[in-house]
């Protein structure tokens, strides 16, 4: 606190008037073209835990939030599972076409969101 008080007093005592703004610098180099982006698709499967089961299927998907299809692992480039917004390690679940099986000792509490993210790189849906 003492340093701040002394520092502020010093700045007020020795500060001169502010000068005018300098000239604008040169424009930087052009960035790389965006045409080199890799086409990808992001699909999300949403459901909510019922607090009891470990097996979720296409029938449990909620259409208004995303897809209701659980894809086979070989159909996606990457698959991520989020439970209550937290990314889960692969040892906690198993995905097969049409189903998600939770391999944890405990199941998520009732109402907790379960989201599977399917990332498809250079693939069309």
pLDDT tens per residue across span 43-61? 999 999 999 999 999 999 9
pLDDT digits (tens, 9 = 90+) for 29-46: 987 777 767 888 999 999
Q: What is the pTM of this model?
A: 0.69
Q: Which residue has the higher pLDDT, 67 or 35?
A: 67
Cβ–Cβ under 8 Å, residues 75 and 112: no
pLDDT digits (tens, 9 = 90+) for 1-13: 344 444 455 555 6
Buried b (16+ CB within 10 A) or exposed e, 82-120: ebeeeebeeeebebeeeebebeeeeebeeebebbbbbeb
């Amino acid at each position: 606190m003492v340093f701040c008080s002394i520092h502020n007093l010093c700045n007020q005592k020795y500060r001169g008037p502010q000068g005018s703004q300098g000239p604008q610098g040169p424009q930087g180099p052009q960035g790389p073209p965006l045409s080199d982006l890799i086409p990808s698709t992001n699909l999300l499967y949403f459901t909510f835990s019922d607090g009891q089961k470990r097996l979720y299927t296409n029938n449990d998907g909620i259409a208004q939030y995303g897809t209701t299809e659980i894809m086979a692992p070989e159909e996606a480039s990457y698959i991520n599972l989020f439970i209550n917004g937290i990314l889960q390690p692969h040892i906690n679940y198993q995905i097969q076409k049409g189903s998600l099986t939770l391999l944890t000792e405990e199941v998520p509490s009732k109402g907790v969101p379960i989201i599977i993210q399917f990332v498809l790189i250079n693939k069309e849906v």
